[in-house]
Amino acid sequence: MTKRFIIAVFSLIVLFTAQKIQAQINTDTKSDSIYSNTFNEFKNIWVKLPDNYNPASSEKYPVVFILDGSVQLNTLETVYNNYWGHYLPHMILVGISNQTNRTRDLTTSQIKMRRGTEMDEDTGGAEKFTEYITKELIPHIDKNYPTTSYRTLIGHSYAGLFTVNMLINHKEFFKNYIAIDPSLDWDNQKLLKQAKEKLASEDFKGKSLFVSMSAEQLHMMDESVTIDNLMENTSEFTLFPRSIMEFSNFAESHKESGLNFSFKIYPEDLHGTVPLPSIRDGLVFLFNWFQFKNPPTYNNPETTVAELTELLNIQAKIYAENFGYNVPPMVEELFNGYGYMNMQMGAPEKAKLFFEMGVKYYPNSANVYDSLAEYYESVEDFSNALKYIKKAFEISGSLTHKKRLEEIQAKN
C-alpha cells in the first residue's frame, strides 16, 4: 500500500468525521466551587467536559487533574484538543485552584531558608492540601460528573514536587502522574531521599510517572554547565536540576519497583515554557497503550470484515486491561470516520461493521443511528434506514433529523 493511499485514507476519515460530528451540549469550561471543611473556605475549580458529553448517556470518563489550574488548564486543553481520539481517550479535565497560599499548600515540609534567602511564606502544607484533594475534591468531582476511577495528576515546579509526593506517599488515589520541572531540591532533597527509599522497597506496579526537566536555564549562571557535566557541579544553582536528574536516574535504574517511568529533558525550554511540551509528551507516554495497533490494517482495502472484527476485539481487550473496566475499542467519531471512508471506497460490508459497532458502543448517540440510516440509504434498504433515522430523531429531537426522517419516509 502506498504512502499516498494512506494519506488519502486518513484525509477521508478527517473529512467525514468533521462533517458528521454534532454538538450535543455546550462544552465550554465550567467554573465550579466547593466548600472545604479542611480549609474552612470555598475552593474554586474548573471543569472541562469532553466534546462528546451527553447528559442522557451513561458513559463515564477518566479524569485529568492539573494543579495551578488558573494558569495551566488552558495548556492542558490545548494539548488534549489536538490529541484525543487516536492518542488520548475522551476525558474530563479538572483545573485545581491553588494560587492563594501556593507555596504553603504544595510544599512537602516546613523550612525557614531556601537558597540562602529567608522564606517569607508559610511552607509544608502539602499533607493538608492532599487531604482536601482526596477527601473533598475527588468525591465532589465523582458525585457531580460522570467519572471513572482512572485518574491522572499533573503538576509543575512546586506542584511537580506535590505530584511526586502524591505518588510516593498517596499512590492509591491516582493512576498516572506528570511532574514537570519538580522542585525536588526542596528541604535539602528530603522528598527525593524518601522517594529513593520507597522506590527501592515498595511496589509501584500499575502506576506511571513522566518527569520532565527544562535545561536552557543551566547556562544562565554558568555557560560551562551542560547536561553532560551537570552532576559534577556542586553549586547551589544546579541543585534544582541535579535533584531532578538524580531522581530520574534512580527511577530508571530500579525497574523492580514496577513503576512505568519516563524522563525527558528539554534543552531549549525554560522553567516557564516547559509545561506545554511536557504535558503533550507526558500524556502521549501515559496513554501509549491507547493508540491503535496496526492502523495500516484498518486502512488496507484487502483487510476482511473478520480481520477488522478481530482487531477491534483486541483493542477492546487492551483498553479493559489498562482502564480496569470495559471501554469501546474506538471513540464514536472514528467509528463514523471509518464507516464513511469504507462507503466511499465501495466496501459496504466494512462500512456496515463500523456503523453497527458505533450503535453497539454508543447507544445513546443520535449521530450513530443517523450514520447507520445513511448506510442503509446507500444500499437502498429504506425500511432499515427509516428504522434508524427514527431512533436518531427520538434521541435528538432536532430539526435536522426530522427533515431526514421525512425524506426517508418519502422513499419508503
Mean pLDDT within 360-382: 94
pLDDT at 5 over 70: no
Q: What pLDDT, on a 0 to 100 scale, did the predictor assign at position 26?
A: 36
Query: How, if at all, do strands 117-118 and 176-180 pair?
Result: unpaired
Alpha-carbon distance of 17 to 385, in angstroms, equals 20
Chain mean pLDDT for the chain: 89
Name the strand (E) or helix (H) holding 221: helix 218-221
Same domain, 106 and 227: yes
More confident residue, 4 or 107: 107
Q: Which of 261, 290, 319 is the last residue of a domain?
A: 290
pLDDT at 253 over 60: yes
Confidence tier at 136 by pLDDT (50, 70, 90):
very high
Mean pLDDT within 226-247: 86
Q: Is residue 68 included in any domain, yes or no?
A: yes
Percent of the chain with pLDDT over 70: 91
Domain of residue 75, residue span: 37-290
Confidence tier at 89 by pLDDT (50, 70, 90):
very high
Alpha-carbon distance of 164 to 339, in angstroms, equals 43
Confidence tier at 396 by pLDDT (50, 70, 90):
very high
Q: Among 5-19, 95-109, 393-407, which is the least confidently predicted range?
A: 5-19
Q: Which of 290, 318, 337 is the last residue of a domain?
A: 290
Given a contact cutoff of 8 angstroms between Cβ atoms, the answer to whether 354 and 339 are in contact is: yes
Q: Is residue 264 included in any domain, yes or no?
A: yes
Percent of the chain with pLDDT over 90: 75
Based on C-alpha coordinates, what's the Rg of the chain?
Answer: 25
Q: Is residue 370 included in any domain, yes or no?
A: yes
Alpha-carbon distance of 52 to 368, in angstroms, equals 12
Mean pLDDT within 92-107: 94
Q: What pLDDT, on a 0 to 100 scale, did the predictor assign at position 412?
A: 75
Q: Among 39-53, 140-154, 229-243, 324-338, which is the least confidently predicted range?
A: 229-243
pLDDT at 27 over 70: no
Same domain, 160 and 217: yes
Map grid coordinates 483545573 to a residue: 95
Q: Is residue 27 included in any domain, yes or no?
A: no
Q: Among 51-55, 118-122, 192-196, which is the least confidently predicted range?
A: 118-122
**What is the tens place of the pLDDT at every residue in 372-394?**
999 999 999 999 999 999 999 99
Same domain, 276 and 328: no
Q: Is residue 26 included in any domain, yes or no?
A: no
Q: Which of 290, 315, 340 is the last residue of a domain?
A: 290
Alpha-carbon distance of 265 to 385, in angstroms, equals 54
Name the strand (E) or helix (H) holding 124: none
Strand partners, 179: 155, 211
Q: What pLDDT, on a 0 to 100 scale, did the predictor assign at position 220?
A: 67
CATH number, domain containing residue 155: 3.40.50.1820
Same domain, 172 and 253: yes
Alpha-carbon distance of 209 to 249, in angstroms, equals 13
Crossing angle for the helix pair 366-378 and 3-20, nearest 10 degrees? 120
Q: What pLDDT, on a 0 to 100 scale, did the predictor assign at position 346?
A: 94
pLDDT at 139 over 50: yes
Same domain, 194 and 332: no
What distances in angstroms separate CA 397 from CA 23, 372, 390, 403, one per listed residue? 13, 17, 10, 11
Q: What pLDDT, on a 0 to 100 scale, did the predictor assign at position 104?
A: 95
Alpha-carbon distance of 283 to 76, in angstroms, equals 10
Q: What pLDDT, on a 0 to 100 scale, did the predictor assign at position 145?
A: 96
Q: Is residue 23 included in any domain, yes or no?
A: no
pLDDT at 246 over 60: yes
* Domains of the chain: total: 2
CATH number, domain containing residue 392: 1.25.40.10
**What is the tens place of the pLDDT at every residue in 208-233?**
999 999 988 776 667 788 788 888 87
Q: Is residue 407 included in any domain, yes or no?
A: yes
Confidence tier at 6 by pLDDT (50, 70, 90):
very low
Same domain, 268 and 318: no
Confidence tier at 2 by pLDDT (50, 70, 90):
very low
Mean pLDDT within 120-137: 93
Q: What pLDDT, on a 0 to 100 scale, did the predictor assign at position 116?
A: 64
pLDDT at 4 over 60: no
Predicted TM-score of the model (pTM): 0.87
Q: Among 55-64, 105-114, 150-159, 303-312, which is the least confidently predicted range?
A: 105-114
Q: Is residue 229 included in any domain, yes or no?
A: yes
Same domain, 311 and 273: no
